[in-house]
Structure 1
């Protein structure tokens, strides 16, 4: 039994080392071939951790607990399952929820508040800085949606997008129209 435990321990450690060094290359080569049969819990990191813990726990239990081989396998399996659950719920699942993107679509800008950085003439183009939350500020070419001159420093709202250019209107003018 000790050979099985050492094999699992060595195999788990080797898998961890190989996946750290060559993980991206292997993932690209396989191209998602296992996506159709994957379960959310059965992530490679969880499985490798469980195999490694099974081997390590088996060695320790066999040497120091004095249990029969059947009880040793059962205890090692329980340790592996517990470590897999802990690894999944403490590491894998929180990391999956933390994936964020700083990308945005131009259509996401409609309704956003910005500030004019380069004055916008009645018939022409200026520049507006729009705050995008976590991804910071973004600068875009802007035209006056209402056909009015908008000086620098004025807060505006993005009303329209035409050919990659933001149509903006003064924010205070919009508020006055609502009252």
Structure 2
């Protein structure tokens, strides 16, 4: 039984070392061939599973060497320890990292309703340019036209009413009524 515990412990440590040192290198070299290992389920993330297996092995080794407990009791305690460590890894590392992901990507279809500032004046029947915030902390310049056929000067605040043919159709933002 001790061989199983040592195998789990050393396998987990080896996995951690390889992923920390060679993780990006292997991912690029294998061109996503191992992407199937990243499960869609939040609980079945490789980090939580390997953390649990490593904890199982470590607890088993320690309990076998330093206690007089019987093998069934050692197995139960080691499995409980693995589950607790796996849950801890998920809530203290995996979930916060997932929640902190911030993308600067955006789609033109998401622009409707956004507030922008006119950079290049928009004539009644032509095109100008607006600046608006997208994603987490990004900004983008986009081609804009007047939605209602009115001239809009530079510096004016506008709202995107419609997006058509990669052009934002905007209207002056009037918050005073």
Aligned to 1:24: 27
Report the aligned-residue RMSD. Answer: 2.6
Distance 2:149 2:18 in 1: 62
Residue 137 of structure 1 and its aligned partner are, at CA, apart by 2.2
After superposition, residues 48-127 of structure 1 pair within 5 angstroms as: 48-127=50-129
Deviations 1:120-153 (A, max 9, x none): 1222221111233623322111122222221111
2:44 to 37, 42, 45: 42
Show the 5 A alignment for 1:139-158: 139-158=141-160
CA distance 1:57–1:100, change in 2 (3 Å): same
CA displacement 1:70-93 (0-9 Å, x = unmatched): 322222222112111222233223
**Which runs of 5 or more residues in structure 2 are unaligned?**
none
Separation (CA, whole Å) in 2 of partners of 1:170 and 1:77: 63
Alignment map for 1:164-179 (pairs within 5 Å) = 164-172=166-174
Distance 2:80 2:32 in 1: 34
Residue in 2 aligned with 1:135? 137
Matches of 2:31 and 2:73, distance apart in 1: 37
1:54/1:33 CA distance change after superposition, 3 Å: closer
Once the two structures are superposed, residues 22-45 of structure 1 have per-residue CA deviations (whole angstroms, 9 ceiling, x without a partner) of 46256811452785xx75422221
Q: Which has the larger radius of gyration?
A: 1
Distance apart, 1:157 and its partner CA: 1.5
C-alpha distance in 2 between matches for 1:34 and 1:121: 51
Partner of 1:9: 9
Q: Which has the higher helix share?
A: 1
Q: TM-score when scaled to structure 2?
A: 0.81
Q: Give unpaired runs (5+ residues) of structure 1.
A: none
